Chain A
């Protein structure tokens, strides 16, 4: 559908933007230049996030904090807002295709929203260097998860009494017809979701990596259903901490504007380009970028530079 040149084009541009951003950190720019550069960087983050399925939100805060020297609190506020935009945009498509399980999402959102509220309150109380350290660990974890092969789940598990009572078992369209699945380990999944919500509220990210861990590994939900349901939940989870961030003055319109519009445009384009062969090594490169950013966040947090 889309020529390979499109994806080839974007790695050099990523590097070019990286260099520009590096230059940006040292030079004084006016608001128009700053907006254009932040918007371009966010566009690339959204594009790579959608192409690799790793989500662009996780690199936004390090991009803003490390390269653009934005205070991490403004960075988190802007990132959180953009996370609502991309997850809602993508969820709109997935829900219609019948992959997301709305009941699983709704039930687990009790845990993620309460966690997100706790995370947002925590963020206003702990020092920014501690946030940077947690962020660094989270980035390294995300990079690790992205390199791990998908778990080969047992099919045709027996119905679990609690999951059945909560009407969580479902079905989804597959190549060979409709596939039915039975959800397992509800309490473990629920607890992990509380943790995912707290991280989302604390760091201003979607924390899709932890959400998928809870649904995919603990609750044994098929991969396609976990990823799309996780995406469906991210918007509501982020909204729960967004209210706190807005009222605490973390959401700056001048900064959130290019971030939100850039990531949204990038992920929209990324979801249209699906070149299987290319995404494999794109994933490798992007996970290396995430790991490097993780180490830098750790270093800046530990030395008290953030």
Chain B
């Protein structure tokens, strides 16, 4: 009973994990927002005067829906490519949090939660890699 109570109370390791996760999320979001901001300046400077139409759905062209295409567009300093790269960084932030959690649970020798977290990571990777990117 006592040991169950002890293990359920947050110990120092859990606290350190939480601090790290907090920083990871903050840095990820700020980095993503900065990249999107840079892309926005280039995009608006170049195309701000034109008219954009989102009334009918065409789906994005290939260079904005695959990781390879987005990197290519971003590295050639196209505004929309840089924005899209920022959005991919944003999507990668929770994935990085999950990867770190696997490591943290492993460090605490909590095999059950390592297994749970691996399942979540598998679902995320399937979404990003298995769904056609």
Query: A132 to B36, alpha carbons, bound, how many Å?
Result: 29
Q: Give the Cβ gap from B19 to chain A, nearest Cβ, in Å.
A: 6
**Chain B contacts of A40 at CB under 8 A?**
none
Query: A254 to B83, alpha carbons, bound, how many Å?
Result: 8
Query: A34 to B97, alpha carbons, bound, how many Å?
Result: 34
* Contacts between the two chains (Cβ within 8 Å), count: 220
Asked if residues B36 and A257 are in contact (CB atoms below 8 Å), the reply is: yes
Asked if residues A96 and B18 are in contact (CB atoms below 8 Å), the reply is: yes
Which residues 1-29 in B have Cβ within 8 Å of A in the complex?
4, 7-10, 14-15, 17-19, 21-23, 25-26, 28-29
Given contacts A107-B116, A110-B119, A251-B60, contact A71 B54 (CB under 8 A): yes
Q: Give the Cβ gap from B108 to chain A, nearest Cβ, in Å.
A: 10
A103, A106, A243: the one within 8 Å of B127 (CB): A243
Q: How many residues of A contact B (CB 8 A)?
A: 70
B36, B43, B48: the one within 8 Å of A260 (CB): B36
Query: A29 to B112, alpha carbons, bound, how many Å?
Result: 55
B44 within 8 A of A: yes
Q: Give the Cβ gap from A220 to chain B, nearest Cβ, in Å.
A: 15
Q: Give the Cβ gap from A278 to chain B, nearest Cβ, in Å.
A: 27
Which residues 111-133 in B have Cβ within 8 Å of A in the complex?
112-113, 116-117, 119-120, 123-124, 126-129, 131-133
Query: A180 to B23, alpha carbons, bound, how many Å?
Result: 26
Interface bits A251-268 vs B (CB < 8 Å: 1, else 0): 111111110110010000
**Chain B contacts of A261 at CB under 8 A?**
33, 36-37, 40
A93 within 8 A of B: yes
Query: A45 to B25, alpha carbons, bound, how many Å?
Result: 22
Asked if residues A170 and B8 are in contact (CB atoms below 8 Å), the reply is: yes
Asked if residues A84 and B98 are in contact (CB atoms below 8 Å), the reply is: no
Asked if residues B55 and A69 are in contact (CB atoms below 8 Å), the reply is: yes
A32 within 8 A of B: yes
- The range of chain B's interface size is 35 or more
Chain A residue nearest to B55 in the complex (CB): A69
**Chain B contacts of A171 at CB under 8 A?**
8-10
Interface bits A157-192 vs B (CB < 8 Å: 1, else 0): 001000010110111000000101000000000000
Q: Give the Cβ gap from B79 to chain A, nearest Cβ, in Å.
A: 8
Chain A residue nearest to B79 in the complex (CB): A253
Q: Give the Cβ gap from A288 to chain B, nearest Cβ, in Å.
A: 28
Query: A35 to B14, alpha carbons, bound, how many Å?
Result: 42
Query: A100 to B64, alpha carbons, bound, how many Å?
Result: 35
A151 within 8 A of B: no
Chain B residue nearest to A35 in the complex (CB): B44
Q: Give the Cβ gap from B4 to chain A, nearest Cβ, in Å.
A: 6
Query: A246 to B37, alpha carbons, bound, how many Å?
Result: 19
Q: A31-B47, A248-B59, A255-B52 are in contact. List 13 more A-B contacts (CB 8 A).
A: A30-B48, A31-B48, A85-B29, A89-B25, A95-B25, A166-B112, A251-B60, A251-B64, A252-B60, A253-B64, A254-B43, A254-B47, A261-B40
**A-B contact list, 14 entries, CB within 8 Å:** A88-B90, A98-B15, A102-B17, A102-B18, A103-B113, A106-B113, A110-B119, A113-B123, A236-B97, A247-B133, A251-B65, A251-B87, A253-B64, A256-B87
Interface, chain B (partner A; CB < 8 A): 4, 7-10, 14-15, 17-19, 21-23, 25-26, 28-29, 32-33, 36-37, 39-40, 43-44, 47-52, 54-61, 64-66, 79-81, 83-84, 87-88, 90-91, 93-95, 97-98, 101, 105, 110, 112-113, 116-117, 119-120, 123-124, 126-129, 131-133
Q: Which 6 A-B residue pairs are closest in the complex by CB-CB distance? A: A243-B127, A249-B59, A32-B48, A249-B60, A243-B128, A253-B83
